[in-house]
Amino acid sequence: MRKRPSLELLGTEIKPGKGGRVMLEVAKLHTNTPIQIPVIIQHARKKGPTLLLLAGLHGDEINGTEVVRRMIKKGWNKPNHGTVICIPVFNIFGFLNHSREFPDGRDLNRSFPGTKNGSLASQFAYIFMKEIAPLVDVVIDYHTGAAQRHNYPQTRCDFRDDATKELCEVFNAPYILDSKLITKSIRHAVSKIGKQYILFEGGKSNRIDNFIVDEAIAGTKRVMTHLGIRYFEELPEQSGRVIRDSRWLRASSSGMLNLRIENGQFVEKGTILATIADPYGKFERSVKAPFEGYIFNVNEMPLVNKGDALFHLGR
Ligand SMILES: [Zn+2]
């Protein structure tokens, strides 16, 4: 059998059966401190697909970083076949500042495919598309909900893309959502160059939630086993629910929100999901489910304004 070639990334050679760490250098801080993004690579002796585990595209979505960190710490990123590339923190500016965006307020996930001399976010996107994306077959990108919106573990893909939907089914998060590609997102950019991309959403920003981390890791292991990259035994069985249609339920008045259900739960039509009350004991109103379905996102902020999104209900 012919020997598998080394992997070349940013001028570094990773030999078959070896691992390495290279730095993606994009920019400097105003202190002249270089900003480097560590990229951790494991390259098996035997050939197979290349999987990218990507987190921290939004700098405050720490939960995903914990997922990738744990995969590395446990050595689960070491493939028997193929290659695994890990980027635990992509938007390092946001990570430093506990913020989703770049210092100029730009969203990296609306800056793809990027340009060489564009905004900082655009330069990040550009270097990723130039150096990393071409090497990869499958991307798993870990995200969370916003500050007060807790996402039940879910993957999202465009159901018209059969191959990606199949991978989401293999990942087998509790919910799979139909979601169209958004222009200038990383998902759009990598899908366009023929790569497969799994978007994982779970938990909320600035928080590590072990239930979510465990779900994300279990899904990642299922995908790695399916792709033949590494075989994992004893993966907990579950049947992910496919959500074809969903609606955000919004607050009909301003007040204090008191939740009556758990995220991830099935609810009948008319179930009281929460109450909204004024602080002075004058009124208390119920928020009811308009149809039966599954709650997969809950607003955990106890003070809400009329029109705020409270629950995401799917069927
Ligand atoms: Zn995100």
Question: What per-residue confidence (pLDDT) applies to 1?
Answer: 55
CA of 111 to the centre of ligand 1 (A): 13
Residue 238 Cα, ligand 1 centroid: separation in angstroms?
Answer: 25
In the chain, which segments carry CATH 3.40.630.10? 7-227
C-alpha 61 to ligand 1 mean position (Å): 6
Q: What is the pTM of this model?
A: 0.93
Rg (CA), the chain: 21
Single-letter code of the amino acid located at 264: G
Distance CA 216, CA 219 (A): 5
pLDDT (0 to 100) of residue 122: 94
The average confidence (pLDDT) of the chain is 93
pLDDT of residue 227: 97
Q: How far apart are CA 88 and CA 147, in angstroms?
A: 20
**Which of 42-46, 234-238, 251-255 is predicted least confidently?**
234-238
What does the pLDDT read at residue 2?
A: 66
Tell me, in angstroms, the distance from the centre of ligand 1 to residue 48's CA.
29
Residue 3 pLDDT exceeds 90: no
Q: How far is the CA of 261 from the centre of ligand 1 (A)?
A: 25
Cα separation of 250 and 296, whole Å? 14
Is 191 a residue whose pLDDT tops 90? yes
DSSP secondary structure, the chain, as one string: -PPPPPEEETTEEE-TTEEEEEEEEEEE-TTSPEEEEEEEEEE-SEEEEEEEEEE-SSTT-HHHHHHHHHHHHTTTT--SEEEEEEES-S-HHHHHHT-SS-TTS--GGGS-S--TTS-HHHHHHHHIIIIIGGG-SEEEEEEEE-TTEEEEEEEEE-TT-HHHHHHHHHHT-SEEEE-PPPTTSHHHHHHHTT-EEEEEEEEETT---HHHHHHHHHHHHHHHHHHTS-----PPP--PEEE--EEEEE-SS-EEEEE-S-TT-EE-TT-EEEEEE-TTSS-EEEEE-SSSEEEEEEE--SEE-TT-EEEEEE-
Distance 143 CA to ligand 1 centre (A): 4
Q: In the prediction, which pLDDT does 92 show? A: 92
Cα of 214 vs centre of ligand 1, distance in Å, is 18
pLDDT digits (tens, 9 = 90+) for 136-149: 999 999 999 987 88
Judge whether residue 258 has pLDDT over 70: yes
Confidence of residue 48 (pLDDT cuts 50, 70, 90): very high
Euclidean distance between CA atoms 232 and 91, whole angstroms: 30
Average pLDDT over residues 47-69: 97
Q: How far is the CA of 58 from the centre of ligand 1 (A)?
A: 5
Query: Alpha-carbon distance 47 to 80, whole Å?
Result: 9
Confidence of residue 33 (pLDDT cuts 50, 70, 90): confident
- Kindly give the distance from the C-alpha atom of residue 92 to the centroid of ligand 1, in angstroms, as a whole number: 14
57 CA from centroid of ligand 1 (Å): 6
pLDDT at 240: 79
Could you tell me the distance, in angstroms and rounded to a whole number, from the CA of residue 243 to the centre of ligand 1? 20
Q: What per-residue confidence (pLDDT) applies to 29?
A: 82
**Residues whose CB is less than 8 angstroms from the CB of residue 52 and which lie 6 or more positions away in sequence, other chains included:** 84, 85, 86, 87, 132, 136, 138, 139, 140
Range of lowest pLDDT (38-42, 81-85, 278-282)? 278-282
Band of pLDDT at residue 215, cut at 50, 70 and 90: very high
Give CA separation, 298 vs 260, 264, 302, in Å: 11, 9, 11
The contacts of residue 159 (CB under 8 Å, 6+ apart) are 165, 178, 244
Percentage, residues of the chain above pLDDT 90: 85
Q: Say which CATH class 245-314 falls into.
A: mainly beta
pLDDT of residue 68: 98
Q: Where in the chain is the domain with CATH 2.40.50.100?
A: 245-314
Q: What is residue 102's predicted lDDT score, i.e. its pLDDT? A: 87
Least confident of 83-97, 148-162, 223-237: 223-237
- At 103, the pLDDT band (50, 70, 90 cuts) reads confident
Find, among 233, 227, 235, the residue nearest to 173 by Cα.
Answer: 235
* The architecture CATH gives domain 7-227: 3-Layer(aba) Sandwich (3.40)
* Greater pLDDT, 1 or 216: 216
Q: What is the mean pLDDT of residues 172-190?
A: 94
**What's the gap in Å between 274 CA and the centre of ligand 1?**
26
Sign of the dihedral through C-alpha 278, 306, 202, 94:
negative
Give distance in angstroms: CA of 315 to centre of ligand 1. 23
